[in-house]
Structure 1
């Protein structure tokens, strides 16, 4: 079968554009990681020699390590809670008709259009009124509000793309609704659930604006600690810590890819 030169040219152009986009997206992270291995005292590219000096500095820097633990802990909690709440809301919206359905969907997606600064100030005032500003709850709630829209959008897409034939077959065999959800619905949309959890984790782990308003008890998240540090210093320690953030996020994505495969994840 003879391939049309025009089709071949379009395919090549599409592949070239995709390659350029991937390079542009990955290049900043690659430059940061390479710069973090410098042996010099200033952040520069190309690095002034190769060394893991700044990774040792980062490991021994208590504020950064505490912030890394805080970010990871909060992101894991947010991912779990957003997944539970987002699945329940998405399932109700996708499967049922009830009064206020459109309002519920609009309310769930509203954080996507509300400026993060406005959201952070509003939550800070709310928890200050409740005298809870020195607890983890404001930070958790702020990140949860930001993560739920992404979780719901992902799960709604998964529910819409899969046929309900298996669920109906289970109900015809007199399985309870809860059993149908547990044994059929959840396994079928598992890639969507894991994708939603990744979105929630990354959204929480990398958030700066809301986190800056809702830090508690002297504990700050890693992005906020980075921005605070950059105000007074710009040594390669910033690149080393940024590389750790990139590697944590990449490790989570690769774990999911190993579990369910890249194509199903996408």
Structure 2
């Protein structure tokens, strides 16, 4: 039997192999969370949901872990929300200023906004630790918030800049010709027109903050510990599938947010067409 190698077949094989490479670790975590044994093992000893039930016990009490699981979750939630709000405000205004400014050097400033994406996060974390140590007396929540603002700001700048580049500037010119000042034009014309980019940037900023480990690991403390470093500490004490079950729950939250983005984008297209 002869097999004919085609271009589409090679492309399909490449995409499949690349998908397995990317998603393989996530699949391992999900499978490990259903293990009926007491340790993480692939293939599992058997399939069971008991480790998802054990998460309820972790919520009530996690021996040897302070703060507890719920404190870590709430810390990650408020940190993600606060850093997202700050990133949306600063990123939207910064992207607008860079896009509309006629001053020389704006392209360089735009690249500076994106530096946190280019630097390894471990370098960013070490730099923040050294800087806060030199300043001294900075509360943990301030360190975490400023650190997460640095890594979430580029998410908003990128999406808002892309929206501004596709915006029809004649709408702004028409508003200003009719007597609106620049501030009123921004809030009543520009901002509603780029709300899709702002919303996408906000969601990606929250996801970046909520799931960040590297920078957070350098800035957290015993009394304020977000979920990613808390989970890392947990697997140092307990090598059981409970960590995999908790990781799977975080993965489901992330996927739910991504699905929400797709639904909102689809809804936005429907509204635009109806108008």
TM class, shorter-length:
0.7 to 0.9
Q: Where does residue 35 of structure 1 map in the other structure?
A: 32
1:139 counterpart (114, 119, 144)? 144
Aligned match of 1:190: 195
Q: Contact between 2:140 and 2:224, CA under 8 Å: does it hold in 1?
A: no
Q: Is the 8 A contact 2:125 2:219 kept in 1?
A: yes
Give the whole-Å Cα distance in 2 for the aligned partners of 1:163 and 1:242: 43
Quickly say closer, same or farther: Cα 1:40–1:89, change in 2 above 3 A: same
> Is residue 246 from structure 1 mapped to residue 243 from structure 2 by the alignment?
no
Q: Is the 8 A contact 1:59 1:65 kept in 2?
A: no
C-alpha distance in structure 2 between counterparts of 1:32 and 1:200, whole Å = 24
1:180, distance to aligned residue in structure 2 (A): 2.3
TM-score, normalization: structure 2?
A: 0.81
Structure 1: tracts of 5 or more residues without a match:
1-8
- The 1-side partners of 2:16 and 2:266 are apart by 21
In structure 2, do the counterparts of structure 1 residues 59 and 153 end up closer, same or farther at CA, with 3 Å as the change threshold?
same
The answer on 1:82 being equivalent to 2:87 is yes
Count of residues in Structure 1 that have an aligned counterpart in Structure 2: 256
Residues 1:96 and 2:93 are matched in the alignment = no
- TM-score calculated relative to the size of structure 1: 0.83
Unpaired runs of 5+ in structure 2? 1-5, 60-67, 270-275
- Candidates 34, 47, 51, aligned match of 2:48: 51
Is the 8 Å Cα contact of residues 133 and 214 (structure 1) preserved in structure 2? Answer: no
Residue-by-residue CA offset, 1:135-193 (whole Å, 9 max, x unaligned): 30101111111111222122112211232122222223323323322232222222221
1:155-174 equivalence runs, <5 A: 155-174=160-179
